[in-house]
A and B are shown apart, each in its own frame.
Chain A
Amino acid sequence: MAKERSIPAPMSSPETEPFWAAARQGKFLIKTCTSCGKAHWYPRACCPHCMSETTEWVESPGRGTIYSVSVMKRAPEVYAIAYVTLEEGPTMMTNIVECDFDKVAIGDKVQLTWRPTQDDGPPYPVFKPA
């Protein structure tokens, strides 16, 4: 395998602290709204679909489909940036790892995995071929 790009640690906020704490336990949390029933991404205190404050964290198995993907060639380490649509509905920006950069494509089924981040930051959610 070629050397992978090192991921900077994410800044967190009070709103997202539970996400990163769970990530350190290997759990992938998303936010859903008990008012309109829809999940959203990225996690917020208020539902972006209906503005309700009744959102709750739920654990997701992290299964999804690539909505779009681009392989960055002009970089020290080639990497793939993508949008993945989760089974729960929302589409999230992510990286695709452990894949053949010449073959990775829209419509591919993918599975969540984690990558360590710099400076002892929390693991970051990325996806690999399912």
Chain B
Amino acid sequence: MAHAAEAIAAGKCSVALITLAGRPRSEGHSGATPRIRGADAPDTQWEFPLGVATVNAYAMVAARHMHQFGTTSEQLAWVKVAASHHAQYNEHAMLRDVVTVEQVVGSPLIATPLHRLDCCVVSDGGGALVVVSPEIARSLKRPLVKVMGAGESMKGQMGGNVDLTYSAGVRSGPAAFAEAGVKPSDIKYASIYDSFTITVVVQLEDLGFCEKGQGGRFVADGNLISGVGRLPFNTDGGGLCNNHPANRGGITKVIEAVRQLRGEAHPKVQVPNCDIALAHGTGGLLGSRHGGATLIMERE
């Protein structure tokens, strides 16, 4: 999105198309299966033989967060509970049943301390975004949504200075807020990448929605449920309940944020007066190395 907006602002194009699609479910992928991520990457010989799957890399982040900040499985479960409250209204969602904290922590442990219901779905799917110049946007007779600010960053194992308590969002978030000229309390709706419940907690902290270490408390008691809490998130049901095309969540996060800004989300989850929204994604593994991207948009 940010690259498309930059290209348009620089006059290199006036319409940009961004697409994503994949069929990991049909192809039999599982987040519990170790897979080689870049055989020629220098990190691979130090990771792949150890059985790094997706889920246990994120589980190490959760274990450390619990140890260092006292975060509980029940608090993490609230992320899934909120997603399920939203997914019940999405007829396309894979998982539409509302679940309770007890059901999440009572589901089988996959990689300690993460349970089956702490994990996102594996789904086929795709999405597309069209980014256009202001002149074209005004000719389209659709509600106008503008990019206010964006940030990108990366994080690795830092030559052994490993700190699993934060993500690349600590840099992409402030960059996006600075460019947009707004602060976390101005955000009416947030799409937050949710490969696992812990992913949401860490990223919310990094984006400044709460203090580092307070993410578990922040998400508890329905604080992410639209119409109930302070920060409605992933009102399509997110990766935890709706879909996770190509094992990624970025494009669906932007799509739902745009729906919210246009007032086109499901009426049961539409945030009233949604004028500023944020979308944040992570690519890679929070537990080893990843990129992070933050996008802030407004309704004109």
Chain A positions within 8 Å of B, measured between CB atoms, are: 5, 7-13, 15-16, 39-42, 44, 47-49, 67-75, 79, 81-83, 85, 89-95, 106-107, 117, 124, 126
Contact = CB atoms under 8 A, between A and B. Distances in A.
A69 B63 contact: yes
Given A13-B45, A68-B164, 13 more contacts: A7-B51, A10-B45, A42-B45, A48-B160, A67-B162, A68-B60, A70-B112, A73-B108, A73-B111, A74-B55, A81-B52, A83-B162, A85-B162
B52 A93 contact: yes
A72 B64 contact: no
B103 interface: no
B50 A81 contact: yes
Nearest to A118: B49
Given A11-B39, A40-B159, A74-B32, A68 B64 contact: yes
Interface of B: 32, 39, 42-53, 55-57, 59-64, 67, 108-114, 157-162, 164, 288
B49 A39 contact: no
Contacts of A75: 32, 51
Contact of A95 (B51, B67, B164): B51
A77 B133 CA distance: 55
Contacts of B50: 7, 81, 93-95, 124, 126
B104 to A, nearest CB: 16
Contact of B46 (A10, A73, A106, A117): A10
A69 B60 contact: yes
A79 B108 CA distance: 16
A106 B64 contact: yes
Between A13, A44, A75, A82, the greatest number of chain B beta carbons within 10 A of the residue's beta carbon is seen for A75
B45 A74 contact: no
Task: State the 5 A-B residue pairs at the shortest beta-carbon distance, nearest first.
Answer: A90-B160, A48-B159, A70-B59, A41-B160, A91-B162
